[in-house]
Amino acid sequence: MIRVLLVHDTYLLRTALAALIGRETDLEVSSTSWPGAVATSRTLRPQVCVVDMDSPDAVGPRGIRELSRRCYEGGDGFSLLALASAGRPGPLRRAYEERALGFLSKNASPDRLVEGIRHVAKGERYVDESLGFGFLEASEMPLTRRELSVLSLAAEGASIGEIARSLCLSNGTVRNYMAAITRKTGARNRVDAIRISQCAGWV
Amino acid sequence: MIRVLLVHDTYLLRTALAALIGRETDLEVSSTSWPGAVATSRTLRPQVCVVDMDSPDAVGPRGIRELSRRCYEGGDGFSLLALASAGRPGPLRRAYEERALGFLSKNASPDRLVEGIRHVAKGERYVDESLGFGFLEASEMPLTRRELSVLSLAAEGASIGEIARSLCLSNGTVRNYMAAITRKTGARNRVDAIRISQCAGWV
């Protein structure tokens, strides 16, 4: 019997997905939202965590990083299977950085999901073929970590001055970063750079 | 037997949700993506369409408007049940404008979904209690249609000049609109106004 914890923010959809996984006689599934993921993994002690990477909470303080830490450093030894959208390389890259073992497109069939769960439960890597191009895009993320920090603050509506104070930089340096970001993303202007980066899931 | 068409963009999740609805002996369910919704409704002739309003395609050319037209003007006579997120009044308002008969939070239980389907199949209005506050927010949308057009273009990265040309306005008028939008949304600046409006699902 493989114990599975499904992490997805919408109750209706995670309940439906859990019911579908639970039809398999070798899988025993529970589900929770991102804010409850770490606590539930502690009590449930699953072998596999299936995580929805498209939620903003997946990259928040109780998101994939914390879950991954428990998984690989806490000695609990479960494996992560990430659900991602093919057109958004950002969350895919994030799951890769946090050492997910499996990667499945949300447009895959339920059969593939079940197959993926069984693979990662055995400690085997599982990558859905339809995510191949997404991985290519994820590997080509053009921005540095510092540029991403600047862009994230800009996307929240911070002014040049506020970004500068927040990151202990001069206004001129922030302007230079913003110009580099606009150039590297092929954007027309700052708002366009934010739009492009949000569509790709980088910020 | 009630024929149900479920419209959701992610194959894995709509398959799961359809399997869950299909467990009910009085419901017969098919599912499709937004781009396939109108064509499928033509061949399937459902009594109820359950539609996910959070997809960008829901407000696109083959989205809720077209489906609603078929439903209420095409003589097919099915009812719309909208799935929406409590914190995003924009899609909720859009579903209301397009004469959806039922409104259900995506955090509702599967039982509520099934209950909602049975209600709207009989032509009865069904509103999930947890969406009540969302309706209040939806009724208080602060921007005019013209301001929303300006903001939508700005959110796509268009400059003041591009917005002006696109809407046949002067640059000064567009600047005035942007200032009004920023003030009305309580934003710090233009980027912040875009962020606030996107979070609410207005653009």
Q: Return all residues near B116 (Cβ < 8 A) that are at least 6 apart.
A: B81, B102, B104, B108, B126, B128
Backbone angles phi, psi at A50, to 5 degrees: -95, 120
What's the pLDDT score for residue A37? 93
* pLDDT tier for residue A94 given thresholds of 50, 70 and 90: confident
Query: Phi and psi dihedrals of B29, rounded to 5?
Result: -120, 140
Q: Measured between CA atoms, how close is A59 to chain B, in angstroms?
A: 17
Per-residue confidence (pLDDT) for residue B79, from 0 to 100? 92
Instruction: For residues A157-179, give the mean pLDDT.
Output: 94
Q: Return the percentage of chain B with pLDDT > 70, whole number.
A: 97
Six-digit token pair at B18?
A: 């359809």
Least confident of A51-60, A180-189, A194-203, B112-121: A194-203
Q: In this structure, how many other beta carbons lie within 10 angstroms of the beta carbon of residue A191?
A: 21
Q: Which one of 1.10.10.10, 3.40.50.2300, 3.40.630.10, 3.30.70.20 gives the CATH number of domain B2-139?
A: 3.40.50.2300
* Amino acid B75: pLDDT: 63
Q: Which residue of B has its CA nearest to A11?
A: B107
**What mean pLDDT is predicted for residues B160-179?**
94
Note the CATH architecture for domain A2-138. Answer: 3-Layer(aba) Sandwich (3.40)
Domain boundaries, chain A: 2-138, 145-199
Phi, psi of A51 (to 5 degrees): -120, 135
Percent of chain A with pLDDT over 70: 97
Q: Render pLDDT for B123-140 as a digit per residue (tens, 0 to 9).
A: 999 988 878 767 766 777
Q: How many CB atoms lie within 10 A of CB A166?
A: 14
Q: Is B11 exposed, middle or buried (0-12, 13-18, 19+ CB in 10 A)?
A: middle
CB B156 within 8 A of CB A193: no
pLDDT > 90: percent of chain A: 55
Residue with the bigger pLDDT between A177 and A76: it is A177
| Closest B-chain CA to A190 | B157
Looking at the predicted structure, is the pLDDT value of residue A133 above 70?
no
- What is the structure's pLDDT at A129? 80
Q: Which of A12, A17, A191 sits opposite B157 (nearest CB)?
A: A191
In chain B, what percentage of residues exceed pLDDT 90? 55
Which tens digit of pLDDT belongs to each residue from B14-26? 999 999 999 999 9
pLDDT mean over A10-35 = 94
Chain A residues lying within 8 Å of B113, measured CB to CB: 12
- Nearest-by-Cβ selection for A188 from B11, B16, B159: B159
Q: Which residue of A has its CA nearest to B83?
A: A12
CATH of A145-199, picked from 1.10.600.10, 3.40.50.300, 1.10.287.110, 1.10.10.10, is 1.10.10.10
DSSP β-bridge partners for residue B105:
B84
Q: What is the mean pLDDT of chain B?
A: 89
CB contact under 8 A, B109 and A13: no
Q: Pick the closest to residue B191 from A200, A167, A88, A198 (CA basis).
A: A198
Cross-chain Cβ contact A192/B156 below 8 Å? yes
What's chain A's average pLDDT?
89
Measured between alpha carbons, how far is B49 from B71 in angstroms, rounded to an integer? 9
Per the CB < 8 A criterion, the answer to whether A128 and A84 are in contact is no
Would you tell me the crossing angle of helices B11-22 and B110-121 to the nearest 10 degrees?
Answer: 70
pLDDT at A70: 80
The one-letter amino acid code at A116 reads G
Q: Which amino acid is at B149?
A: S
The pLDDT of residue A13 is above 70? yes
B86 pLDDT band (50/70/90 cuts)?
Answer: confident
pLDDT of residue B136: 67
**Would you tell me which residues 129-148 of chain A have a C-beta closer than 8 angstroms to some C-beta of chain B?**
none
A101 interfaces chain B, CB cutoff of 8 Å: no
Q: Out of A110, A157, A187, whose CB is closest to B15?
A: A110
Q: Dihedrals φ, ψ of B39, to 5°?
A: -65, -45
Q: What's the pLDDT band for A62 if we cut at 50, 70, 90?
A: confident
Among A23-37, A50-64, A107-121, B163-177, which is the least confidently predicted range?
Answer: A50-64
Complex ipTM, two decimals?
A: 0.74
pLDDT of residue A93: 85
Strand order in the sheet with A2-7: A27-32, A2-7, A48-52, A79-84, A102-105, A126-127
Q: Which of A106, A110, A157 sits opposite B192 (nearest CB)?
A: A157
Q: Nearest chain B residue to A191 by CA: give it.
A: B157
- Cβ-Cβ contacts under 8 Å, B104 against chain A: 12
Range A69-87 average pLDDT: 81
Q: Helices A190-199 & A145-155, crossing angle to 10 degrees? A: 110
* Tokens standing for residue B55: 């997809």
Asked if the model's pLDDT at residue B160 lies above 70, the reply is yes
In sequence order, what are the beta bridge partners of B31?
B6
Does A82 have pLDDT greater than 70?
yes
* Amino acid B74: pLDDT: 63
Confidence of residue A183 (pLDDT cuts 50, 70, 90): very high
Does B30 score more than 70 pLDDT?
yes
Q: Give the pLDDT of residue A111.
A: 93
| Per-residue model confidence (pLDDT) at position A136 | 67
CA distances for A184 relative to A180, B82, B158, angstroms: 6, 40, 18
To the nearest whole angstrom, how far is the Cα of B90 from the nearest Cα of chain A? 18
Residue bearing tokens 């398999």 = A24
A29-56 pLDDT, tens digit each: 999 999 999 999 988 899 999 999 988 8
A192 Cβ under 8 Å from any chain B Cβ: yes
Q: Is the pLDDT of residue A89 over 80?
A: yes
Interface mutation target, options B7, B9, B15, B160, chain A, most CBs of A under 10 Å: B15
Task: Determine contact: A6 vs chain B, CB below 8 A.
Answer: no
